[in-house]
Homo-oligomer: A and B are copies of this chain.
Amino acid sequence: MNQDKLSLTFAALGDPTRRAILVRLSKGEASVSELAKPFMDTMSAPAITKHLKVLEKAGLISRSRDAQWRPCKLNGEPLKETAEWLEHYRSVWEESFDRLDDYLKTMTQKKKGKKNVRKK
Contacts and interface: CB of A to CB of B under 8 A. Distances in A.
Contact of A34 (B13, B92, B120): B120
A118 interface: yes
Interface residues of A, number: 50
Contacts of A12: 14
B31 A118 contact: yes
A119 B82 CA distance: 32
Interface string A17-40: 001001100100111011000000
A107 interface: no
Interface string A63-92: 000100101001111011011011101111
Interface of A: 2, 4, 6-16, 19, 22-23, 26, 29-31, 33-34, 66, 69, 71, 74-77, 79-80, 82-83, 85-87, 89-96, 114-115, 117-120
Given A33-B120, A34-B119, 15 more contacts: A2-B14, A6-B16, A6-B19, A14-B14, A23-B89, A29-B117, A29-B118, A69-B118, A71-B118, A75-B96, A76-B94, A79-B86, A83-B83, A83-B90, A86-B86
